Structure 1
Amino acid sequence: MSTLTPATGQGHSTRYENILLAVLCTSFGMVFWNRLALNYALPFVVADLRLNNAEAGLLVSALALSWAISGYVIGGLADRTGRRRALLVGLTLVFTFAGLASGLASSFGALMGMRLLMGAAQGPILPIAQAMMASESTPARRGLNMGLLQNLGSGLLAYIVAPVGVVAMAVAWGWRNALMASALPGLVLAAMIVLLVRRDPPQAAARAGLAPALRYIGERNIQLCLAATVLMVMWLMVQMTFLPGYMMSQLGFSPGEMALQLSLRGMSGLIGGIALPALSDRFGRRRVIITGAVLAAVSPLCAALPGQTFTTLALSGLIMGAGAGCLPLVMAIVPSETAPPAAAAAAMGLIMGFGELAGGFVAPVAVGLVADRLGPQAPFVMAGIAALLGAGLAYWLRDATTVRIHQPAA
C-alpha cells in the first residue's frame, strides 16, 4: 500500500496534489452553490415571506458582510493553530447546518440570521483551501491549480448547474426544500475532507503564529493585490447587479435572452478563470494580470455604448472571462507567493475579505446611487474604469521571479 507524502513533509506526491485539488475544487463549488441558491430562489422567498426590496437586498448582502469579516479572522486562526483540515471540516458542517436551517426559517429575521451564519462559515474556506493548495502544488502548476480550485467547481456548479437546478426544485418542491436539498451535499463534502485530505503536519502548528498577515501588509505586492481585488470584485459585482435589469428594461431583451447573455458570460468566466492562471505559470503573473484587466474593461464599456444588440452584447460578453481570470491571481496566487506559508491563509483572507466588503458590499450600493443621478449606463462605465485601474496597479507588482516564492520545505 503506497503512502501519500505531502509536499510540506518528506517529498511531493503528484497523486495527492490531484486528489487535494479535486476535493477542494468540489468543496468551493458547493460553497458558491449554497451562497447563490437563495439568489436563484429569491422570487419565491419574497412572495412567501412578503418581503420588500430592501429586505430582499439585505438577505443577499448580509452574507457578503459576514463572509468578509470571518475570512480574515478565521483564516488567521488556521495559520496560528496549523489545523486547516479540521477547520475546513467544521466550517463545512456549519454552512451545511445554516443551509438546512434556512429552509425552516419562517420570518425575515430568522432567514437573515442563517445567512449571516452561512457567510461566517463560508468566508474562510477559500483562503484556507488556497493556502493548502499552494503548499501542495509543484511550482510549475501552482497558478493552474489555484485557478482551477477557485473557478472550475464554482463555475460549473454555482453558475451553470445551480440556476437550473435550484429553480426547478423551487418550482417542484418549494423554495424551502430547494435550499435544504442544496445544503445536503455538505455532509458528503465533510466526509470527503476527513477521508481524503491528510492531517496537517505537526510542524505547521509549531510554525503558525510567527507571521500574522498584518506583519506583511507593508509588502508592496500585498497592498497592490488588496487594492486590485477591491477593483476587480467591484467590476464583477456591479455587472452582476445591474446588467440583468439593464438588458430587460433598457435594451428590451426577453427573460430568455437575458438568461442566455448571463450564461455566455458564465462560460467565458469559467474558461478565463482557468486559462489566465495557467498562462501566468508560463508568462508571469504581472503580465497576465495587466492584459486580463485591460481586456476585462471591454465588456462593461461596450454595454454602456448606445445601440447595443443581442449579438454585439454577446460578443463583448465573451471577453468577460479575462477579468474572471484576474481574480484568483490577485486574490490568492500572488499573495501566496509573497507571504510565507504560516501567514498565507490570513493574508488571502484579509485580501478576499476586504475585496468582498468594499467591492462586493459597498460598491454596488454606491454605484447604484450614482446611477440614479447619471443614468443606467453609469454602472458599466464605472465597472470598466475599475478594471483599467486594476491593470494600472498591476504594473507595479513584483513578479514571482523577483520576490521570494515560498517553496515547500525539504
Structure 2
Amino acid sequence: MNDGAHPRRWLVLGLCCSALFVVSMDNTVLNVALPGIRRDLHASVEQLQWVVDAYVLVLASFLMLAGAVADRVGRRRLLRVGLALFTAGSALCSVASDLHWLVAFRMLQAVGGAMLNPVAMSILTVTFTDPGERARAIGWWGAVAGVSMTAGPVVGGALVEAAGWRAVFLVNLPVGIAAWLLTGRWVPESRAAVPRRLDPAGQILVVVLLASTTYALIDFTALGSTEAAVLGCAAVAVSALGALLVVESRRAEPLVELSLFRSRPFVGANITAVCAFAALYGFLFTTTIYLQVQQGLSALQAGLALVPMAAMGLVCAPVSGRMLAARGAMAPLLVSGTTMTASGLLLAVGNAEASVVERCVAFVLFGIGFGFVNAPVTHTAVSGLPHARAGVAAAFAATSRQVGSMLGVAITGTAVANGSLTTAWSIVALFCATSLAAGLIGSAHSSHKTRFRRPGLGLHTRVRHSMVGGRIAVDVSEDIDEGAG
C-alpha cells in the first residue's frame, strides 16, 4: 500500500468517472431521440445537426481552456461549476419549447461539460500518486468512456420509448446533483504549482474557426454553395486559421502549441482521432435516421438494433489495450481502420435494401473497429513527446475527438438532408479509410529528431524517437539556446 496516497482515492475515481459518464454518453444517447425531436419541434435535418453539433462545437472549443483555468482557480472548484452548469443545462433542455431554445440550452450543457473531462483527469493524476494505481485508475477511466459512448444508443432508445425524448436529458439530473454534492464532500482541492498563462486571443480564434467551419458545412445544403453566408463563413474560417497560426507562434505559452505538430506520431494520432470520431458520429446520425424514418422502427427497436455495435465496442476496447502493450500501436490501428472501412462500404453498397443480417454484420464490424481505436490514438499522441508535453498532447487529442464528432455530423448530415443515405455511408467509409491511413503513417517505422522550444528559459528540448510498429523509444536531451538572452 502507498502510505502517502489519498485515503479515499477510489471514491474520487468513482466521482470523476460519473462526471465523465454523463458527458460522454450525452451525444450518443441523444441520437435515437432525434426523430422524436424532429417530429415534436417540427425540425429539419439541418436543425437536427445543430442539436448535436452545437454541443460538440462548444465542447471542442473550451476543453483546453478549462484545463488551464482549473490549474489556476482550483480543480475541484471548476469541476463543481461544470457539474452545476451541465445539470442546469440538462434540466433546461428537457423543457425546451422550440428548436432554438434547445440548441441554446445544449450549448450551456457543453460549457459545463468542457469543464468535466480534462479537469477530472487532472484530479485523478494528482490523487493517484502511485504509478501502478494511477495506471489502473486511468484504465477504469477509459473503460467508463467506452461504456458510456457505446451504450448510449441502447439507453437512449429505452428512455425515449418509456418517457419520450425529453427523458434523455432528465436522466442526467440525479447523476449530476449527486456528483456535485459528493464532489464537494470527498474530492480534494488542488492547483498547479506554476499554472499556464491564459491565451484569450488564441481561444477566441479557435471558437471562430470551429463555429464558422461548422456553420458553412451544415448550411451548405440549406442555402446553396454560392450563398453569401456560406462563402462568408468559409472565408472567416480560413482567416481565423491563418491568424491562429500567426498569433500562437508568437506566444510564450500558447493555447495551441504549434511545436507539437513537428512530431509525426502526434500529427498522425490526431488525424486518426478526428476521422475515427467523424466516422462514429456520422454513422450514428445516419443510421438513426435510416432505422427510424426509413425502416419505421421505434426508438427502442433502433437502440436494440445497435446492440451488436455497442457490444463489440465494449469487448474490443480492453483487447486493444492488451494488443497495444504486446505489439505496439500499428496492429490495433490496422484492425480498427480495416473493419470500420468495411462496415461503411457494406452499408453504402446495401443502402436501404440491406437485409437485417447485412446490417448486423456492418454494425458488428463498426463496433470492432471503434473498440480498437482509442487506446492506440492516445498512446501514439503522447509517446513521441517529452513528458512535459504529455498533458497538452492528451488535451489536444481529446479536442481532436470532439472536432471529428462535429465534422462527422455536419458532413454526413448534408448528405442525409439531400436524401442520399448511400452518400452518407460512403462518407463514413472515407473517414474510416483516412483514419486507417493516418494511423499507419503515424505509427510506421521511423527515427528522427523533433525539437521543442521552452520559452523564457533559453532552453530547447530535443527529442529523438524511434518507432517500429507503434513501439516508441524516446531519447530526450536539452541544450542552451545560443540566441537566448
Q: TM-score, normalised by structure 1?
A: 0.78
Determine the C-alpha separation between the residues in 1 that align with 2:147 and 2:14.
Answer: 10
Residues 323/88 of structure 1: CA separation in 2 closer, same or farther (3 Å cut): farther
- Which of 160, 163, 168 in structure 1 is aligned with 2:162? 168
Residue aligning to 1:85: 76
Confirm or deny that 1:273 pairs with 2:317.
yes
The Cα RMSD (Å) is 3.7
Match in the other structure for 2:120: 129
Q: Which has the higher strand share?
A: 2
Structure 1's 381 and 276: CA in aligned 2 closer, same or farther, altered over 3 A?
Answer: same
Query: Considering only CA atoms, is the larger Rg found in Structure 1 or Structure 2?
Result: 2
Cα deviation digits, residues 193-251 of structure 1 (max 9, x gap):
33443333x6x33265597651534332322222111110121112112123345677x
| Alignment correspondent of 1:241 | 285
Residue 188 of structure 1 corresponds to which residue in structure 2?
A: 178
Distance 1:186 1:254, change over 3 A: closer
The answer to whether the 8 Å contact 2:54/2:106 transfers is yes
* Alignment partner, residue 189 of structure 2: 199
Question: Of 350, 373, 395, which aligns to 1:349?
Answer: 395
Q: CA deviation at 1:186?
A: 0.3
What secondary structure sits across from 2:262 in the alignment? coil
Instruction: State the shift of 1:42 in Å.
Output: 4.3
Change in CA separation of 1:25 and 1:340 when aligned onto 2, cut-off 3 Å = farther
Instruction: Report if the CA contact (8 A) 1:222-1:335 is conserved.
Output: yes
- Residues of 2 paired with 1:348 and 1:268: CA distance? 25
Match of 2:340 among 296, 303, 312: 296
Q: Separation in 1 of the partners of 2:418 and 2:160?
A: 36
| Per-residue CA distance 1:255-276 (angstroms, 9 max, x = gap) | 4764432122122222223432
Unaligned runs of 5+ in 1: 7-12, 406-410
Aligned to 2:5: 5
Pair 1:329 & 2:375 matched: yes
Of stretches 298-307 and 43-52 in structure 1, the one that deviates more from structure 2 is 43-52
**Structure 2 unmatched runs, 5+:** 198-251, 444-466, 477-485
**Count of residues paired in the alignment:** 387
User: Share of identical aligned residues, percent?
Assistant: 17
Q: State how 1:8-407 maps to structure 2 within 5 Å.
A: 16=9, 18-36=10-28, 38-78=30-70, 80-81=71-72, 83-133=74-124, 136=128, 138=132, 141=136, 144-156=139-151, 158-170=152-164, 179-200=169-190, 204-206=192-194, 208=196, 214=257, 215-247=259-291, 254-255=297-298, 258-306=302-350, 308-329=354-375, 332-338=378-384, 344-357=390-403, 359-369=404-414, 375-395=420-440, 396-397=442-443, 398=467, 399=470, 401-403=472-474
Between 1:204-213 and 1:177-186, the stretch displaced more is 204-213
Distance 1:140 1:119 in 2: 28
2: CA distance, partners of 1:159 / 1:263: 8
Residues 145, 400 of structure 1: CA spacing in aligned structure 2 closer, same or farther, 3 A cutoff? farther
- Structure 1 residue ranges (4+ consecutive) displaced by more than 6 angstroms after TM superposition: 371-374
Code of the aligned partner of 2:155: V
Question: 1 CA distance for matches of 2:366 and 2:385?
Answer: 29
Q: Report the Cα distance in structure 2 between the residues aligned to 1:69 and 1:370, rounded to whole angstroms.
A: 25
**C-alpha distance in 2, partners of 1:370/1:54?**
10
> Aligned partners of 1:253 and 1:107: how far apart in 2?
24
Mark the CA change 1:243 to 1:55 in structure 2 (over 3 Å): closer, same or farther: closer
Q: Quick check: 1:229–1:331 contact (8 Å CA) kept in 2?
A: yes
Deviation at 1:361, TM superposition (A): 2.3
Instruction: Report the Cα distance in structure 2 between the residues aligned to 1:160 and 1:364, rounded to whole angstroms.
Output: 19
Provide the C-alpha distance between the structure 2 equivalents of 1:211 and 1:133, rounded to a whole number of angstroms.
Answer: 24
Paired with 2:327 and 2:168, the residues of 1 have a C-alpha distance of: 44
CA distance in 1, matches of 2:438, 2:83: 35
Q: Which segment is superposed worse, 292-301 or 31-40? A: 31-40
Q: Is the 1:41–1:166 Cα contact (8 Å) retained in structure 2?
A: yes
Higher RCO (CA-CA < 8 Å; seq separation 6+) = 1
Deviation of 1:71 after TM superposition, in Å, equals 1.5
Q: Please report how far the alpha carbon of residue 314 of structure 1 lies from its aligned counterpart in structure 2 after TM superposition.
A: 1.1
Distance 1:343 1:43 in 2: 43
The Cα offsets for residues 330-356 of structure 1, whole Å up to 9 and x where unpaired, read as: 554443445566655543333333442
Cα distance in 2 between the residues matched to 1:178 and 1:373: 28
Task: Report the equivalent of 1:9.
Answer: none
Name the structure 1 match of 2:458. none
Q: Which amino acid aligns with 1:151?
A: G
Residue-by-residue CA offset, 1:76-129 (whole Å, 9 max, x unaligned): 434x53833332222111101111222343343332221111112213433333
Structure-2 residue corresponding to 1:10? none
Answer whether contact 1:226 1:331 (CA < 8 A) is retained: yes
CA distance in 2, matches of 1:59, 1:369: 14
Q: Is the 8 A contact 1:232 1:387 kept in 2?
A: yes
Please give the per-residue CA displacement for 1:6-51, whole angstroms capped at 9, x wherever unaligned.
Answer: 6xxxxxx9x83x5444333322112234445654444554455444
* C-alpha separation in 1, matches of 2:473 and 2:107: 40
